[in-house]
Amino acid sequence: MSHPAPAPTRLVHVLLPRFNMLALNGLREPARIANYLSPAPRYHSSLHAADGPRIIASNGTELPCAPLPERLDRHDIIFVSGSWGSEHYRNPALFSWLRLQARAGLRICAVDVGAYILARAGLLSGRLATLHWSYLPGFQEEFPDIDVVEQLFTQDGAMMTCSGGTAGIDLMLTLIQNTHGTPLAGEVSDQMMHHPVRPDHARQRVTLGRGTSELPGPVRATVDLIARNISEPLKVPEIARRVGLSQRQLIREFSKVMGCSVVQFALLMRLQHARVLLVTTDLSIRDVSAASGFNSLAHFAYSFKKCFGKRPSDYRQAWPADEAEPHWPGTLSSLLDSMAVDERAP
């Protein structure tokens, strides 16, 4: 006797203004392909918004959206997708709706900068969470009660977070594997030509703008040490000791791979950290300076203007919060190159 196929899992995509289209499709396409490969639908995707019947993505694409659904089943999954501007987004009705669904036991996933929404709804306190790497410093400052990590995605109880970009593909393949088994997940991966499927703890950033291959071990370890000690920078001898190289070896190897000195790279990381704090938090300029490892406010202001072309206060005011496509202030590679040129100038 044949049994009726179970009802498909509903994937409820809640879109915020200027959401990222790549991140959305990275979640929807694996589900669509899983349906294509199965005798009965496994998933049903729907688009929703709390801000009206149409939402414009960060790339200018406009999508029709239904209102937030009133009734969901416990096995359904909610994805809250945000991007530029989500760090300042506040909608009490959406926060209340998310808390209601959480109390009902639904799984909820924040995508890209959508982590701010779950955090403001109080759903990530004491939990592991991630978001796009460029927003991590500001998020950590605003939500010290959340265990923030830089990785592709997290699963902590019923709450999930995804860093955006193509990480949604890996998250969705993991969910397919957990629910429907490895063979189906593997076939979906083959259809997408997405190999290997990356685990949740995989890095968001691999090359840091220096080629397309992963950085050598000692250089990667140096970068990690710098990133973990932004507010209290380590001296080069201490970094060399921790990565197991002589100071001379470290300087030579790092410069060969990165095209700049350890000191130059560390300075740029601190300035990038400060830049994110300026546009995503309400911290004072002095507090941003201290949180970014500068003992002197004057030195911070001088270094920031030299790197980004504006004083910190002017940069904060000029950040294009309402622009459809704000511009990142130069690639990491180009900024490193310009710093190296400045260092060599007479």
pLDDT digits (tens, 9 = 90+) for 209-237: 555 457 788 898 998 899 889 999 999 99
Q: What is the pLDDT of residue 333?
A: 60
- Residue 282: pLDDT over 90: no
Mean pLDDT for the stretch of residues 176-193: 96
Q: How far is Cα 335 from Cα 243, in angstroms, rounded to an integer?
A: 25
In order of 250, 258, 284, 296, the CA distances from 278 in angstroms are 32, 26, 8, 17
- Residue 315: pLDDT over 80: yes
271 closest CA partner among 245, 310, 325: 310
Contacts of 21 (CB under 8 A, 6+ apart): 57, 58, 59, 61
Determine if the pTM surpasses 0.85.
Answer: no
Q: What is the pLDDT of residue 344?
A: 47
- Residue 346: pLDDT over 50: no
CB 94 within 8 A of CB 79: no
**For residues 292-325, b (16+ Cβ closer than 10 Å) or e, as one string?**
bbbeeeeebbebbeebbeeebeebbeebeeeeee
- Residue 7: pLDDT over 60: yes
Q: What is the pLDDT of residue 238?
A: 95
pLDDT digits (tens, 9 = 90+) for 124-156: 999 999 999 989 988 998 999 999 999 999 999
- Residue 207: pLDDT over 70: no
The structure tokens listed for 331 are: 């690639």
Q: What is the pLDDT of residue 211?
A: 52
pLDDT digits (tens, 9 = 90+) for 51-73: 889 999 989 999 999 999 998 99
Q: How far is Cα 287 from Cα 277, in angstroms, rounded to an integer?
A: 10
Q: What is the pLDDT of residue 257?
A: 86
- Residue 175: pLDDT over 60: yes
Kindly report the average pLDDT of the chain as a whole number. Answer: 89
Q: What is the pLDDT of residue 234?
A: 94
Question: Quick one: what percent of the chain has pLDDT higher than 70?
Answer: 88
- Residue 340: pLDDT over 80: no
For residue 208, name the pLDDT band (cuts at 50, 70, 90). Answer: low
Mean pLDDT for the stretch of residues 169-177: 98
163 closest CA partner among 149, 175, 174: 149
For residue 323, name the pLDDT band (cuts at 50, 70, 90). Answer: low
Phi-psi region of 309 (alpha: psi -120 to 50; beta: other; left: phi over 0): left
Write down all domains in the chain, each with its CATH number in brackets: 9-192 (3.40.50.880), 217-344 (1.10.10.60)
Asked, as a colleague might, if the bond just before 8 is cis with ω within 30 of 0, I would say: no
Q: Among 30-39, 258-267, 309-318, 331-340, where is mean pLDDT lowest?
A: 331-340
Question: Quick one: what percent of the chain has pLDDT higher than 90?
Answer: 66
For residue 180, name the pLDDT band (cuts at 50, 70, 90). Answer: very high
- Residue 308: pLDDT over 90: no
Mean pLDDT for the stretch of residues 285-295: 94
The structure tokens listed for 246 are: 């002589």
- Residue 345: pLDDT over 80: no
